[in-house]
Amino acid sequence: MIDLSRLDLNAPEAPTERTEALQPLQLATTRFQNWRPDGGYLPVGITVGRPRFVRYDYVSVSVLAPFELMRGALKGIDNIEIERKVYRERLRVYESEILAALDELAEKYPDTAAALMCFEDVNGKDGPNGCHRRWFAQWADERWGWIVPELPDPPGTAPARPRKTKAPEPPTLF
């Protein structure tokens, strides 16, 4: 976990400093529902938990999972700007571990492209601005010059179910 006390959540997002890093394997992003075995991509989950609806095996790269947003003080936060800032801080702090995990994938699965997957429908309400896999893709481009496209939705893909809204708290007399 990153130290959130060192991160000013009200300050503007700091620009990403450019450096060089070789891209160890071709990467793309998609959601779990869109991955297809005949698509030519190794399925790679980058989520905190395993989706119950997924019936196929996939590799997990937990260093790209947004742990700080799913546990602890920020669990349940509904502020995309803060979520993005926290996740990008995770990418900065764990950069060497991210590169090592991607190098390991490239060694285990040579000449195979990888699809980094999470749950979000980037064609939905928040678009790509509300999805950590797309935040990683943007950050990888800014930091290392990597191009990590979003795979198109396959034909016949059902749209994401709308999120359930929380019922308002009933008023109290006290």
Under 8 Å between Cβ of 53 and 31 = no
Under 8 Å between Cβ of 116 and 29 = yes
> Alpha helix (H) ranges present in the chain?
67-70, 80-93, 95-108, 132-144
pLDDT at 79: 80
CA 156/CA 136 separation, integer angstroms: 27
pLDDT at 36: 93
pLDDT at 27: 98
Q: Is the dihedral of CA 79, 83, 84, 89 positive or negative?
A: positive
CA 82/CA 68 separation, integer angstroms: 11
33-74-3-59 Cα dihedral, nearest 10 degrees: -10
Digits of tens for pLDDT over the chain (174 positions)? Answer: 677 777 888 888 888 999 999 999 999 999 999 999 999 999 999 999 888 999 999 999 999 999 888 877 777 778 888 889 999 999 999 999 999 999 999 999 999 999 999 999 888 777 778 899 999 999 999 999 999 999 998 876 665 555 556 667 777 666
Taking the mean position of all CA atoms in its chain, how far away is CA 50? 14
pLDDT at 124: 74
pLDDT at 31: 95
pLDDT at 78: 80
Nearest Cα to Cα of residue 64 among 35, 105, 112? 105
CA 169/CA 70 separation, integer angstroms: 22
pLDDT at 5: 75
